[in-house]
Structure 1
């Protein structure tokens, strides 16, 4: 199932790379790696992401959002369907709701952040899902940027099993804009 999840996420990354106003990011933290793609410049947008932790498991998701321009900033509201495969637990699915904000500071620096949450009532196989990240992107060229930020991804399991932090720390990576 992990291979299917990885193939679906990779496919979403490739598809979104061909669309206009899309971003593809790959980042690595101390205990995790993550990839994400988004297509959104205002209006209806699409996201796909995948996070892998060797010790804890994998999480992948696809989502839709509505981007609202606020001057130069972009505020996005939306949701995503998340597939969760943590070690020592059954697989789970969550319908997470969230929002994100991207604020350009001049032509070379962008501040961004987003958060998603799924309570027990929108989850199957898990108690809750929490994801948040915040960072800064330094544009090296108009198409290539370097990311530095912090990501937190927690899966709270059922049946007395301990929760799992798949990501909880600083990351660095690269971003491609098309």
Structure 2
């Protein structure tokens, strides 16, 4: 147990030192989201918050590990989310991956997919799916604009309690540091 605690502390300390990343605020027809995506090689801390107009929300933090290969960066990671819904509160541990492809003229394509099975979720949650894809333009070194599509679904044992927090296009703006 003590060794696991030391390893976890070392991983979090390493990730906290990796400060480079992008903060993005986006809005769709009936949802808003805020996230932090790390940039660069190695471990990085991710932050994610999503709120649907009806009041349902999900938020949490995670850790990923990225490897660039030319203009492509691939990352694998995990994140823990707290879910607050009119159908009940829950938590989930999601695992997934993200990809970022640099294009000419400051453009980039990006995508991510995270999933939590029933065994990694609390309460009556059967699964959580979080998918995002889009295009980002960085006209200035510190500023980015993006357009994308986000899908976030919480599936519960009772289908009437399942919720979709996001399923649509969004526009966003970000700060890179």
User: Deviations for 1:84-125, whole angstroms, at most 9, x for unmatched residues?
Assistant: 1111x2210101000000000024101000010001011102
Residue in 1 that maps onto 2:25: 26
Distance 1:158 1:58 in 2: 19
Give the Å deviation of 1:56. 5.1
Q: For structure 2, list consecutive stretches of 5 or more residues without a partner in the other structure.
A: 1-15
Deviations 1:33-90 (A, max 9, x none): 0000122311011100100002150000210011011112110001000111111x22
CA distance, structure 1, for counterparts of residue 18 and residue 25 of structure 2: 18
Q: In the alignment, which residue of structure 2 is the partner of 1:150?
A: 149
Structure with greater Cα Rg? 2
Unaligned runs of 5+ in 1: 1-15
Equivalent residues in 2 for 1:59-98, closer than 5 Å: 59-87=58-86, 89-98=87-96
Q: Which residue of 1 aligns with 2:48?
A: 49
Root-mean-square deviation (CA, aligned residues, Å) is 1.6
Pairing 1:105-120 to 2, within 5 Å after superposition: 105-120=103-118
Give structure 1 regions of 4+ aligned residues with deviation exceeding 4 angstroms. none
User: Are the counterparts in 1 of residues 18 and 43 from structure 2 also a CA contact under 8 Å?
Assistant: no
- Partners of 2:58 and 2:137 in 1: CA distance: 27
Per the normalisation by structure 1, the TM-score is: 0.85
Give yes or no for contact 2:65–2:76 (8 Å, CA) kept in 1. yes
SS at match of 2:170: strand
Give the TM-score, by structure 2 length: 0.86
